[in-house]
Structure 1
Amino acid sequence: MITMNDREFKQLTDLIRCNYGISLSKEKKSLIIGRLHNILSKKGLNNFSEYYNYIISDKSGQAVIELINKITTNHTFFMREINHFNYFNSTVLPYLVSNVKNKDLRIWSAGCSTGEEPYTLAMIIADYLGINKQQWNTNILATDISSDVINYASKGLYSDDQVKPIPEKWKKNYFKKFDDGNSILVDRIKNEVIYRKFNLMENIFPFKKKFHVIFCRNVMIYFNEKTKHNLINKFYECTEQGGYLFIGYSESINHDKTKYKYIMPAIYRKE
């Protein structure tokens, strides 16, 4: 196993933190070595100094994409933190349907991972609007820094174990059998989600219109306080008045440093 000295660890983690906001402590060194070892072996690199030089000299950008794909943890599942989805269905959607006059719902799943979150939102919206669905634009923007998970999510294909937590009526209405052991979302749900690779550390978000709802759950646990505060401010600026922000239950926002109003655990609103 190739080892990593303190200088190499600092080089690599500074690169990741400065460009992607992800802070990795020294306790993560063995994890990083384990996840990157095969890359160094395949590239014929002798140490992490050579790997760092390989990344920064790669003009195609593929090397850093591969790095981010390896070091990010993309663990999620359908119906995760279900109280959020219940609140979205019982409170947020009724408010939006009553107040969005142009019937253009703008929802962003930031850090969407393998797609379970945005697809769940799409199914909730389809259920809620019913026969009126065709009158609305309800496309959901789903972004992540990992091209691997974006490619996975866009297929809408999940194992039977993955879809197990989903209500039976959703399995019946919104999935079809793909093969033994796998199911695929029907097109009318799969096409509701627009997947894009996007880095939340961009200084300026390029969106022309503001969002009514932003889900960014279990992403900021990797960020330091300054990075998290800056991101929350950028979210606020691209949230419609009366819009909502959902974060993970393991995350928190300093109420004195945000303009969002606290609604309930991990749910905030722009008022």
Structure 2
Amino acid sequence: MTKTLINDEDFRKFGEYFYRKTGIQFEVSKRYFVDKRLIERINATQSDNFLNYFMMLRFDSDGLELQKLVNLMTVNETYFFREAYQFDCLVNSILNEITDTKNDRRPIRIWSIPSASGEEPYSIVIYLLEHWPGIEQWDVEIISSDIDTDIIASAKRGHYTDRSVQHLPKYLLRKYFVPKNDGFQICDDLRDAVEFTRVNLIDPMEVRAYREFDVIFCRNLLIYFDDLSRRQAADTFYDALNPGGFVCLGHSESMSRISSLFRVRKFPEGIVYQKPKEDI
């Protein structure tokens, strides 16, 4: 079999196409990573070369090949209690402000995107159970979404290595996880507490169903977007939030550099971004 090569023009064409579909840009520094995964799919589909594969990809009516490629190209590395100061902010400041101003008994709704393999949404559940007294009085709905269908399936299984749980206190590991030969599985009650969905954040048709959230966690995703896609994501979050709702970004991300729609809120635990209580 002739060795498949990806030339500079192929890389450019694919990069532009993948960006249009996902909002994710690949820098030249990612060239080896992208080429390797493209070649893997070219061989798996028995395409003769990149151009034949690219033609098939673009005209794949059911989108299955694009989804397989997305699953290969997206990076999903995280762990429990990552950047835990924001979970502290959630239970000590954000939720108390939300419940103080809620004028009905509708559930508090939290959207975690991307879900990765589930560490983030399950960390939120554990924090609520362990540190927020309001969990006894309020119903909470947690939706966690990702563009990668394989990683969503992994999140639903809730099976983790020692590395994923390394920052968890031992008593929480005993309380919420079941030991397995090759790691730990999160308990059924916590798995049932999170609804996992597949969504493309920059597809207006897909995100329009995501509404009436009180808090959005979107940490360390926007760093993979360009300015246009970041602004589109900010607009999506604005539409998805209730007035007065909050967005939590990663420590290296700043909504102030992306959009003027949100207020900067400085709580003792950290900085988050709030949709004004009255539309602007």
Same fold (TM over 0.5): yes
- 1:72 maps to a residue whose letter is T
1:267 aligned partner:
272
Cα distance 1:127–1:96, how it changes in 2: closer, same or farther (>3 A)? farther
Q: Which residue among 220, 224, 227 is the counterpart of 2:226?
A: 224
Question: 1:145–1:198: 8 Å Cα contact kept in structure 2?
Answer: yes
Aligned twin of 1:64 = 66
1:198 maps to which residue? 199
Aligned to 1:251: 253
Q: What is the aligned partner in structure 1 of residue 144 from structure 2? A: 142
Which of 126, 130, 135 does residue 127 from structure 1 map onto? 130
- For residues 163 and 70 of structure 2, the distance between their equivalents in structure 1, rounded to whole angstroms, comes to 27
Check 1:137–1:206 CA distance in 2 against 1; reply closer, same or farther (3 A cut): farther
* Aligned counterpart for 2:48 among listed residues 46, 49, 52: 46
**CA drift at 1:129:** 4.8
Q: For residues 103 and 59 of structure 1, what CA distance do their matches in structure 2 show?
A: 40
Match of 2:97 in 1: 95
Shift of 1:270: 1.8
CA deviations on 1:16-51 (whole Å, 9 max, x unpaired) are 111110111233222211122222223222321112
Look up the equivalent residue of 1:166 and give its one-letter code: L
How does 1:156-167 map onto structure 2 within 5 Å?
156-167=158-169
* C-alpha contact (below 8 Å) 1:140/1:194 kept by paired residues: yes
- The number of aligned residues is 269
Q: 1:115 — aligned with what?
A: 118
Distance apart, 1:122 and its partner CA: 0.8
Following the alignment from structure 2 to structure 1, what is the Cα–Cα distance between the partners of residues 219 and 258? 21
**Contact map agreement 1:4 1:48 (CA 8 A) in 2:** yes
Measure, in 1, the Cα distance between the counterparts of 2:23 and 2:258: 22
Give distance in 2, aligned partners of 1:21 and 1:146.
Answer: 14
SS at match of 1:54: helix
Partner residue in 2 for 1:184: 185
Shift of 1:99: 3.3
Contact 1:107 1:211 in 2 (8 A): yes
Structure 2, unaligned stretches of length 5 or more? none
Kept in 2, the 8 Å contact 1:106–1:210? The answer is yes
Decide whether aligned partners of structure 1 residues 55 and 208 sit closer, same or farther in structure 2, where only a CA change above 3 A counts: closer
| C-alpha contact (below 8 Å) 1:210/1:238 kept by paired residues | yes
Unaligned runs of 5+ in 1: none
After superposition, where does 1:2-81 map in structure 2 within 5 Å? 2-81=4-83
Q: Is the 8 A contact 2:122 2:190 kept in 1?
A: yes
Question: Normalised by the size of structure 1, how large is the TM-score?
Answer: 0.91
Tell me which residue corresponds to 1:174: 176
CA deviation vs aligned residue, 1:209-228 (integer Å, no higher than 9, x gap): 41100011111111111110
Kept in 2, the 8 Å contact 1:111–1:144? The answer is yes
CA RMSD in angstroms, aligned pairs only: 2.0
Q: 1:135: how far off? A: 5.0
Note if contact 1:108-1:213 (Cα within 8 Å) is conserved in structure 2. yes
**AA matched with 1:137:** D
In the alignment, residue 189 of structure 2 is paired with which amino acid? R
SS at match of 1:230: helix
Counterpart CA distance in 1 for 2:187 and 2:31 is 42
Contact 2:210 2:240 (8 Å CA) reproduced: no
Do 1:158 and 1:183's aligned partners in 2 also have CA atoms closer than 8 Å?
yes
